[in-house]
Structure 1
Amino acid sequence: MSFAQVNGVSLYYECITSTRDSEETIVFFHGNGFDSSRWGHLIDGLKEDYHLLLVDLRGCGSSEPTLGEISWDLFVDDIYALIQHLNLQKFHLIGHSFGGSLAIFFTARYPKLVKCLILISINVLFPEMNGSTVIKNYMALIEKYGMTYILEHFLLPSLTVYPFRHEEAQRLYNMYADVPVENYTKLFQLQIEQRPISELSQIQSPTLLLAGECDTVYPSSFQNMTAVLIPDATFYVVPNAGNALFIDQPDVTVQWIKAFIKRKMNSPAAAKSVKQSEIASSVQHMWDSFLQTLLPIRKNNEPVMKVELLSGFRVTLNGQEILNGWNKRYAQNILVYLVLRPSCTREDLCDAIFPALPLPIALRNLKVYLNYLKKLLTYEEDQNSILKTDRKHLYLQGKIECDLLDFFEYIKQTLHHEDNEMEMYESCKRLFRLMRQKEIMPGIFDQWFIEMKARAEFRLGVLSAWMSEQEKKRGNLMKAAEFRKLANYYTSEEE
């Protein structure tokens, strides 16, 4: 670990020497909530041809926390002092999101230092008045629901295409969870309020802009408009990638970065000149249609409920966990049935949960149980409930997420790959990584649920046996034995 005392702050940095005799260096600026450790997906692909300098920005990662006000000038001064400390002359510069805005400010001030500029997932073009609206709404959401809610329901789905329980998504989740909320919001406010719009036309370096196809934070259409204002800019959309496209598609990202630098260093392109006013109306029009989807503000105050059933029972409603009350009046049993059978009648539910009771008695009891569950599932100040009923039907109103339904879908998708051995093998590996324990769907003993569990375990047994044979073919005998034990566990008559 290396630290440099520069500009009144201790900055953490890491220098990675090229495995070849290279004279080229790439400097990396990470995004808000990230640190230098998250560039690992690009390092292996770039370190052969370039020396790499990774830095934790002031107040981020292992660098010294910053007190008081921050500004772009302060961050630029930090980086320039570090560059001088390390005696770097000229280099290529990569910036992601917040780090991309910083890279623009830095390049505009020190144009002779930056050979090529690569901007990943940046958006500086939206009207000033809407920027303040974004900040106000975002801060209100953090204050009301907490950073965990923002992270799980807004940031992660836009940062990556990986599902929430995938190891890559979990790494991002844990990284963001460790970031002090005060620091995150301070950088977010700076990024929104002070955008490098006028600096775009000052950039003299060849610039590559990369946008993720699935990025809902900074849509590719807005990033393309940003590229128009940079004199010598190239814009690409990375397919099947979110905001952190270097995590979702590292190989493509490396390939395009290397090709861009090589091409621009060999034959610099002629710069273009575009006035900002020429696209102002287009930006405003695009923003008007997009603003409502930028932040997770639920239309008509639509609730979001997440139900975990795969490894245990857990319910969160609008980011708040409901801890108590599930062992009374069949609340857990009824909710699970409604989550897994979204549209049902009162009679359906009684047949499934109270099969031994005469239907009139079961229906009479159900009224009491439903009133209790409605109170348990209330949200907001007006005490609305996510559970809706009429004389015949029952349903949950809002956005319902369930890890068990996602798991069933993953099993289905895996089985669809049976004609392609390699795809099925990779899909199986991802499937079993999602499981935190052997036993699935514990703690619920209604007959309909037990039958569903048995069908799922049978499919897992088949896939475990198949994986055992695959690992044996690949010479991974220990893994083959583990999957064989797993297959026996799921197909055992005792189980």
Structure 2
Amino acid sequence: MSEVEFVTIHGHRRAFVRKGSGPVLLLLHGLACDHTTWSPVIDRLAKHYTVIAPDLLGHGLSDKPRADYTLGGYANGMRDLLTLLGIDRVTVVGHSFGGGIAMQFAYQFPERTERMLLVAPGGLGPEVTMLIKLIQAPGWEPVMRLLTQPGLRHASTTALRVLSTVETAHTRDLDEIADILESWKDPRTRFAIRHLVRAAIDWKGQIVTMSDRAYLTETVPVAVVWGRDDQVLPVHQLESVAVLAPRAATYVFELAGHFPHKDHPERFVEVVHDFVRTTQPSKYSRARMRQLLQRGSLTPVRQAEGGEAPVEPVRALA
């Protein structure tokens, strides 16, 4: 288990794990998770890279204040953390909601982004599981307050972990849900998660999308990994990558759910290593960025909405 370090940024304590040496990987976890979601891969990655895996504000061992829980706010927080650690540039790896933060980070700070690897990321389509939509419902807080009472919480998490041992597409990630339910015993965590969801999701689904700015990824190497059995964000959202970011490398992990890096850690590390080894880090050019902005995103957006662009096959990893 890696040692957790702490820094204080703008009066709020931030937890993170730092391990290894070499090119820097910034690992961003998903909604209601923490740095431990990367535990199966951190040691392997640290053999080749400097790994920075923070607990995002409102999660894990980081503070849970009344604060800015928007994607932009999280991207700013990562910029400030890296600055304190003396790190200028990173390959940013984001899972789920962390994938949305990764895209926002690359958009706000292209000069600090070498590459972007997205793992079942938010922001590629509106669809999202109803369980996340319900977090904004009026009765969610009292229901969670009841479900996280000691006796009921223990029974629920035990049942979820037992069911997770059954190998089906619908039970694959129940152990993660058990960990999330356990973390929600802290009302400050529930507060942070609720505000985070309200900033990114409404009853129609995901509000924030990268489709209008995806053309800017021409300047940054991109890879996207998804699990075939993902029940949180459907794998077919990966098809839009071929339209929105046609140069991206795409991978589907068979027999994997919403956490492909946990279902197949060795394969995931191979993908990360191959991605870093075979791509050159992005070099920020203000002139190039200006050209892209002037050209605009009309063509790729029209293709994505009209469905006229061919969808390239993705790589399936059995």
TM-score (norm 1): 0.48
**Structure 1 24/169 Cα, relative in aligned 2: closer, same or farther at 3 Å?**
same
**Structure 1 225/62 Cα, relative in aligned 2: closer, same or farther at 3 Å?**
same
| 8 Å Cα contact 2:244/2:301 also seen in 1 | yes
**Structure 1 161/215 Cα, relative in aligned 2: closer, same or farther at 3 Å?**
farther
Q: CA deviation at 1:135?
A: 7.0
**Structure 1 162/26 Cα, relative in aligned 2: closer, same or farther at 3 Å?**
farther
Question: Matched residues in 1 for 2:228 and 2:193: separation?
Answer: 25
| 8 Å Cα contact 2:114/2:282 also seen in 1 | no
The residue number in structure 2 matching 1:278 is: 303
**Structure 1 96/78 Cα, relative in aligned 2: closer, same or farther at 3 Å?**
same
The residue number in structure 1 matching 2:194 is: 185
Q: Secondary structure at the match of 1:119?
A: strand
| 8 Å Cα contact 1:211/1:220 also seen in 2 | yes
Q: Secondary structure at the match of 2:86?
A: coil
Flag structure 2 segments of 5+ consecutive residues without an equivalent: 202-206, 284-291, 309-318
**Structure 1 227/39 Cα, relative in aligned 2: closer, same or farther at 3 Å?**
farther
| 8 Å Cα contact 1:120/1:211 also seen in 2 | yes
Q: Secondary structure at the match of 1:88?
A: coil
Q: CA deviation at 1:207?
A: 0.6
Q: Secondary structure at the match of 1:202?
A: helix
Q: CA deviation at 1:177?
A: 2.1
Which one of the candidate residues 245, 255, 262 is aligned to 1:240? 255
Q: CA deviation at 1:228?
A: 2.7
Q: CA deviation at 1:17?
A: 2.1
The residue number in structure 2 matching 1:10 is: 13
| 8 Å Cα contact 1:212/1:239 also seen in 2 | yes
Alignment of 1:103-142 (within 5 A): 103-126=102-125, 139-140=136-137
Q: Secondary structure at the match of 1:265?
A: coil
Which one of the candidate residues 200, 203, 208 is aligned to 1:194? 208
| 8 Å Cα contact 2:221/2:282 also seen in 1 | no
Q: Secondary structure at the match of 2:91?
A: strand
Q: CA deviation at 1:48?
A: 0.8
Question: Matched residues in 1 for 2:27 and 2:262: separation?
Answer: 15
Q: CA deviation at 1:80?
A: 0.7
Q: What do the CA deviations read for 1:201-232 (whole angstroms, capped 9, x no partner)?
A: 22321011001000022111112213531253
**Structure 1 143/266 Cα, relative in aligned 2: closer, same or farther at 3 Å?**
closer
RMSD: 3.6
Alignment of 1:79-158 (within 5 A): 79-126=78-125, 139-140=136-137, 143=140, 146-147=143-144
Q: What do the CA deviations read for 1:132-184 (whole angstroms, capped 9, x no partner)?
A: x99765544963994559x979xx79xx97439x9985465134421333322
Query: Partner amino acid for 1:187?
Result: L
**Structure 1 161/100 Cα, relative in aligned 2: closer, same or farther at 3 Å?**
farther
Which one of the candidate residues 241, 265, 274 is aligned to 1:259? 274
Q: Secondary structure at the match of 1:255?
A: helix
Q: Secondary structure at the match of 1:104?
A: helix
Flag structure 1 segments of 5+ consecutive residues without an equivalent: 284-495
Structure having greater relative contact order (Cα 8 Å, sep ≥ 6): 2
Say whether residues 1:70 and 2:69 are aligned partners: yes
| 8 Å Cα contact 1:123/1:222 also seen in 2 | no
Query: Partner amino acid for 1:26?
Result: L
Q: CA deviation at 1:246?
A: 0.9
Question: Matched residues in 1 for 2:138 and 2:263: separation?
Answer: 27
Q: Secondary structure at the match of 2:31?
A: coil
Query: Partner amino acid for 2:232?
Result: V
**Structure 1 146/248 Cα, relative in aligned 2: closer, same or farther at 3 Å?**
farther
